[in-house]
Chain A
């Protein structure tokens, strides 16, 4: 069965430090992988995607993610966190096996401390 796991409900990091938000997935076929961010009382905003190509994907606001096929992971990273990065982050996968279903992880709340 398809699934997406974000093992950490919350990640705390000091401003200026690197951050990582973890995501692992299980899906048939070649997955389409996405990261989204949600600020309070707003819809989700697209950060980056992986469909094919280079395993390191660069996205908006200085975020990047690394696709690791053997570990079925797609962790979100940023070299230097900002207080304004504090938000709820969602990993999502679209089944590559033809069902076109989207599955979102449960979200990870990132708190960047000044």
Chain B
């Protein structure tokens, strides 16, 4: 058990909809990362937060947004969903930037 909790585990929705994925980092970890894993694009880094502040941005679409709250949990919001957004979304956390990341088991998002 990595100590990182992601909810929900599975999410099925339709095109055009909006969803929110939630992540609780491992106790004591200040940094949170979001990734998208799909068969055709591999594991893509989306965004990183450290103690509530955005610190790095990867290949995150404008339709996607994230934030880290004062209690350090994080949410990834995906809007105007398209079929191509179907993927496994991982959250990871680390005690500090540059340190090893601990991954949750992911949220599988299916767009119908």
Contacts and interface: CB of A to CB of B under 8 A. Distances in A.
Interface stretch (A12-20, A36-44, A66-74, A79-87): A36-44
A43 B48 contact: no
Contacts of B45: 101-104
A72 to B, nearest CB: 19
A43 B92 contact: yes
A102 B4 CA distance: 19
Chain B interface bracket (under 10, 10 to 19, 20 to 34, 35 or more): 20 to 34
Contacts of B58: 101-102
Interface of A: 32, 34, 36, 41-46, 49, 51, 90, 94, 99-107
Given A90-B43, A104-B42, A104-B43, A43 B56 contact: no
A43 B105 contact: yes
B98 interface: yes
- Main secondary structure on B side of the interface with A: strand
B33 A100 contact: no
A49 B100 contact: yes
Contacts of A104: 35, 42-45
Given A43-B90, A43-B92, A45-B2, A100 B103 contact: no
Interface string B15-57: 0000000000000000001010000001111001000000111
